[in-house]
Amino acid sequence: MSAESTGIDETYYPPFPWCLVNIHNLPKTKNVIVKGYIDTGSDGTIVTIDIDERLELHRQPIALAETMGIGGKPELRALYAAIFTVKGIEIVTAVDIRDDVEEVLIGRDILHHLILNIDWKKGTTDLKDP
């Protein structure tokens, strides 16, 4: 990924690190390239309902899991198969499809496959293949 494919979005406070990700449905018949916001506090990755509609991820349910946001109540939700490509690394994961978020949130299920460096002073984000 080039420098233009990562960064820190300062329209958020505090600023939010991001990277471009290529998301495929499991049969790899459809894909989208989107900005994914790096959420080191999230166990799992979240995609928007719009991404689901474009990729039809809901056709590949793979697990039920109890999820909970900060201060929220536990909720049993279906998770769906998706393939994320970040820095040339293809990662198959189970995503939560949410209608109450507007961004793709990349959780530790994906991040633990990469080396992540955030330089808040320089305003840069870098992801590397370990």
Among all chains, which residue has been given the structure tokens 């390239």? 33
How many structural domains does the chain have? 1
Residue 125 has what pLDDT?
94
Euclidean distance between CA atoms 107 and 41, whole angstroms:
7
pLDDT band at 71 (very low <50, low <70, confident <90, very high): confident
pLDDT, one tens digit per residue, over 41-64 is: 999 999 999 999 999 999 999 999
Euclidean distance between CA atoms 62 and 82, whole angstroms:
10
Residue 1 has what pLDDT?
44
* Domain containing residue 124: 3-128
pTM: 0.92
Euclidean distance between CA atoms 36 and 45, whole angstroms:
10
pLDDT band at 72 (very low <50, low <70, confident <90, very high): confident
SS3 content of the chain, % helix, strand, coil (to 5): 15, 50, 35
Euclidean distance between CA atoms 91 and 109, whole angstroms:
9
Is pLDDT above 80 for 13? Answer: yes
Tell me the CATH number at 73: 2.40.70.10
Q: Per DSSP, what are the bridge partners of residue 19?
A: 6, 36
Angstrom CA distances, 62 to 42, 79, 96, 129, stand at 19, 6, 11, 27
Q: Percentage of residues in the chain with pLDDT exceeding 90?
A: 85
- Burial code (b: 16+ CB inside 10 Å, e: under 16) for 43-74 equals ebbbbbeebbebbebeebeeeeeebeeeeeee
Q: Percentage of residues in the chain with pLDDT exceeding 70?
A: 98
